[in-house]
Amino acid sequence: MQQQIVLNDGSSFPALGFGTCAIGAWQQDDDYVVDTILKAIKAGYRHIDTASLYGNERSVGKAIKASGIPRQEFFVVSKVWDSEQGYEETLKAFDASLKRLDMDYIDLYLVHWPNPNKTQATWQAMESLHAQGKVRYLGLSNFRQSDIEQLMSFAEVKPIYNQLELHPYLTQQALCAVCDKYEIYVSCWSPLGSGTWSGVPTNEKPIADPIIVNIAEKYGISAGQVILKWDLQQGRIAIPKAESDKNIKANLELNSFELSADEITTINQLNRNHRYGGNPDTAYKSNMKMRVPE
């Protein structure tokens, strides 16, 4: 049984999701992407994470349909991109995502990156979608403490989760504490320290860190499994991307071991405040130049 995140309304979803950013290549949306997502579904994933910017919402929808598994058994996440923010813009962006996914609703809709000047209008549009039953839950991505506090000052529908770059070299413990204060679950993107798309050599990633490798050898598992378990044992959500059958399956196989409290502390101490992805303090200008495919 996969570990579940239980929400205040009693519903739940898997703590381990399947990340779809740059399957194959950036904004690839074809049979290879569909087949990869379908492999993940067949392996047991039911929490699928996408975004308008990823350019592969159609593939996500096609894979879920092709699986033959009822839609309600999935927890589907998508996101409104920076250039789509604002009240009317968000409503339009959501409708486009829903059409590409070929679904009646999205389980969780996120603000992809904070834009404080538009947060209130964007969130109010999302609250409208929630009231109409088009979105079950609302959430955040890359929101800093100041962004969360701004949003909580006016939000009528509270966010259930904040998706952050979080891995052993960027533990974000202070921000996690803020999320805990507001009862917002923390979800980790690039939980293993960035994928092959980043161009970062494997030996510079947490999966190659000697401390993590030693723990993996102790339990007879992979370094990636150690990191994912480190997240889940601390009540976080993790959404690794994988394309090979081996890694797709391995990321789900986390029930055979438990990390000790000392091991979790040791991994926490690997923090370097090192980002592989964008920084919410500076990402806005470059993000606005990135286009959401039709």
CA atoms of 24 and 36, how far apart (whole Å)? 9
Backbone conformation region of residue 195, classed left if phi is above 0, alpha if psi is from -120 to 50, else beta: beta
Q: Alpha carbon of 90 to those of 1, 42, 189, 197: distances in Å? A: 36, 33, 23, 28
Choosing from 54, 109, 161, 169, the catalytic residue is: 54
54 is catalytic: yes
CA atoms of 195 and 191, how far apart (whole Å)? 9
The residues annotated with a catalytic role in the active site are 54
